[in-house]
């Protein structure tokens, strides 16, 4: 696969009309994929089924800032003119709730029936660069050599990814700080850049994998001109200058590792509600727990895995009490894990700079500002 990929990297970008995008969606359904992409719902842009391009959020954008998210109209009919919504790909690979196995009791015997391995093939249209980076980050958690997560990897293997580079940045965005965007460089089968001008609306298409090349061969594409490529690059470059947030990552891992006793944690804790919104919205937060559900007869029990959060007070429960009893210790755990110990564990930062934790924090706690405050205290 690597060899074929490397040849595709030198392939010239292609131009696809909006009608070509419709062909792409149709081709994915025909190939047996359930196509998910951005749709307007729940007052936000969320992942939903995309049967035709009419399902896409044409002319919508999002306005984001600390503790602030609003849908707004654009005046140009762009289909991907937003940044990220409250959903991420996480919910499709690690569902908020999923059954792991069922136990049936017959007399003194117990029979365990593992949940069947998922076979549904999912295609994602419109995954942004930070979203794709988050996916690769989560992959490392669930694909350990010794104990790979069968359910996660089965879903992951079947995925087809159509990435879309951002041509605008939001108020909570800082992907440039994390080196994850705004351009979709890798992690997708096809990478699109949407170009809307006064007279034209088209996509620049880059083929990133063999599977992407296969699909592209079914689409009405033509080589992009130098000008068309430049139009796309200009827009991505523009987005890179619009980042609403910035995070200085130089020495941040080490700073957090030695800031265990910083008085700043008390300060954050005075604002933090420990509500867990940040961890639920975060596309890389993977913490989960299990619960066992039994029927009334007590002969049938199901084990469910569901999302959990290090902000919950029973998360660290041990021998009659929580190790992290204070909100301060939980916020410290979350931030330090995300930006410091994650690197020890998985070789990358746990943060992709999508800004969801900032936007969806009910009191507007801003990870970049908290880091800046910790950095300021030590300089």
Which parts of 157-216 interact with another protein (CB under 8 A)?
157, 159, 161, 186-189, 208-209
User: According to CB under 8 A, which one of 55, 308, 366, 370 is a site residue for another protein?
Assistant: 308
Closest contact distance (angstroms) between CB of 163 and another protein is: 10
Closest contact distance (angstroms) between CB of 258 and another protein is: 9
Q: Which stretch binds another protein (CB under 8 A): 37-45, 140-148, 240-248, 365-373?
A: 140-148
Give the number of residues in contact with another protein, rule: CB under 8 A. Answer: 75
Q: Taking a C-beta distance cutoff of 8 angstroms, is the pair 367, 281 a contact? A: no
Which C-beta is closer to another protein: that of 19 or that of 143? 143
**In Å, how far are 13, 183, 198, 204, 220 from 229, measured between CA atoms?**
7, 13, 17, 7, 18
Which C-beta is closer to another protein: that of 18 or that of 141? 141
Query: How remote is the C-alpha of 283 from its chain's centroid?
Result: 4
Nearest in space to 132 (alpha carbons), one of 90, 97, 170:
90
Closest contact distance (angstroms) between CB of 52 and another protein is: 26
Which C-beta is closer to another protein: that of 213 or that of 369? 213
**In Å, how far are 132, 265, 292, 335, 337 from 163, measured between CA atoms?**
8, 37, 38, 28, 27
Q: If binding is defined by CB under 8 A, does position 259 make contact with another protein?
A: no
Q: If binding is defined by CB under 8 A, does position 143 make contact with another protein?
A: yes
Rounded Cα distance, 186 and 9, in Å: 10
User: According to CB under 8 A, which one of 17, 63, 65, 139 is a site residue for another protein?
Assistant: 139
Rounded Cα distance, 138 and 346, in Å: 10
Q: If binding is defined by CB under 8 A, does position 12 make contact with another protein?
A: no
N-to-C CA span, the chain: 47
Which C-beta is closer to another protein: that of 87 or that of 156? 156
- Within 10 angstroms of residue 346's Cβ, the number of other Cβ atoms is 16
User: According to CB under 8 A, which one of 2, 73, 119, 241 is a site residue for another protein?
Assistant: 2
Two tokens, residue 165: 């580079």
Question: Given the structure tokens 């040849």, which residue do they identify?
Answer: 7
75-112 core/surface letters (b: 16 or more CB in 10 A; e: else): eeebbbbbbbbbbbbbebbbbeebeeeeeeeeeeeeee
Which C-beta is closer to another protein: that of 100 or that of 273? 100
Q: If binding is defined by CB under 8 A, does position 292 make contact with another protein?
A: yes
Q: If binding is defined by CB under 8 A, does position 32 make contact with another protein?
A: no
Could you tell me which residues are beta bridge partners of residue 48?
Answer: 37
Q: If binding is defined by CB under 8 A, does position 11 make contact with another protein?
A: no
Two tokens, residue 21: 């995008």
Q: Where are the alpha helices (DSSP H) in 31-128?
A: 90-93
Q: If binding is defined by CB under 8 A, does position 320 make contact with another protein?
A: yes
User: According to CB under 8 A, which one of 42, 77, 100, 200 is a site residue for another protein?
Assistant: 100
Which C-beta is closer to another protein: that of 5 or that of 17? 5
Closest contact distance (angstroms) between CB of 213 and another protein is: 12
Q: If binding is defined by CB under 8 A, does position 254 make contact with another protein?
A: no
Q: If binding is defined by CB under 8 A, does position 101 make contact with another protein?
A: yes
Which C-beta is closer to another protein: that of 137 or that of 231? 137
Closest contact distance (angstroms) between CB of 342 and another protein is: 9
Per-residue interface string for the shown chain with another protein, residues 324-343, x marking contact by CB under 8 A: xxx-xx---x---x--xx--
User: According to CB under 8 A, which one of 31, 34, 65, 103 is a site residue for another protein?
Assistant: 103
Burial-class residue 122 by CB neighbours within 10 Å (0-12, 13-18, 19+): buried
Q: Taking a C-beta distance cutoff of 8 angstroms, is the pair 329, 272 a contact? A: no
């Amino acid at each position: 696969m690597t060899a074929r990929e490397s040849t595709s990297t030198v392939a010239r970008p292609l131009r696809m009309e909006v009608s070509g995008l419709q062909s792409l969606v149709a081709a994915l359904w025909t190939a047996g994929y359930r196509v998910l992409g951005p749709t307007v719902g729940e007052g936000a842009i969320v992942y939903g089924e995309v049967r035709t391009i009419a399902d896409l959020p044409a002319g919508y954008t999002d306005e984001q800032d600390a503790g602030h998210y609003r849908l707004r109209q654009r005046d140009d009919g762009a289909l991907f003119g937003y940044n990220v919504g409250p959903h991420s790909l996480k919910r499709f690979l690690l569902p908020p709730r999923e059954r792991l196995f069922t136990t049936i009791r017959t007399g003194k015997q117990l029979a365990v029936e593992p949940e069947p391995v998922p076979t549904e093939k999912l295609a994602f249209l419109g995954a942004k660069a930070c979203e794709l980076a988050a996916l690769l980050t989560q992959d490392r958690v669930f694909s350990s050599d010794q104990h790979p997560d069968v359910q996660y990897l089965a879903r992951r293997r079947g995925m087809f990814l159509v990435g879309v580079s951002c041509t605008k940045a939001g108020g909570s965005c800082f992907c440039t700080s994390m080196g994850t965007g705004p351009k979709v460089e890798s992690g997708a089968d096809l990478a699109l850049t949407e170009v809307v001008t006064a007279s034209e609306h088209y996509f620049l298409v880059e083929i990133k994998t063999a599977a992407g090349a296969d699909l592209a061969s079914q689409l009405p594409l033509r080589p992009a001109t130098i000008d068309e490529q430049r139009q796309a690059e200009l827009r991505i470059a523009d987005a890179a200058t619009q980042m609403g947030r910035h995070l200085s990552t130089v020495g941040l891992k080490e700073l957090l590792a030695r800031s265990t006793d910083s008085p700043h944690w008390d300060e954050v804790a005075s604002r933090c509600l420990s509500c867990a919104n940040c961890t639920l919205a975060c596309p890389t937060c993977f913490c989960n727990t299990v619960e066992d559900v039994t029927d009334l007869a007590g002969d049938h029990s199901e084990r469910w895995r569901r999302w959990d959060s290090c902000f919950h007070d029973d998360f660290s429960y041990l021998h009659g009490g929580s190790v992290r009893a204070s909100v301060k210790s939980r916020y410290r755990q979350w931030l330090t894990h995300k930006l410091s110990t994650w690197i020890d564990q998985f070789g990358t930062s746990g943060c992709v700079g999508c800004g969801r934790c900032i936007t969806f924090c009910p009191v507007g706690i801003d990870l970049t500002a908290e880091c800046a405050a910790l950095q300021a205290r030590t300089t």
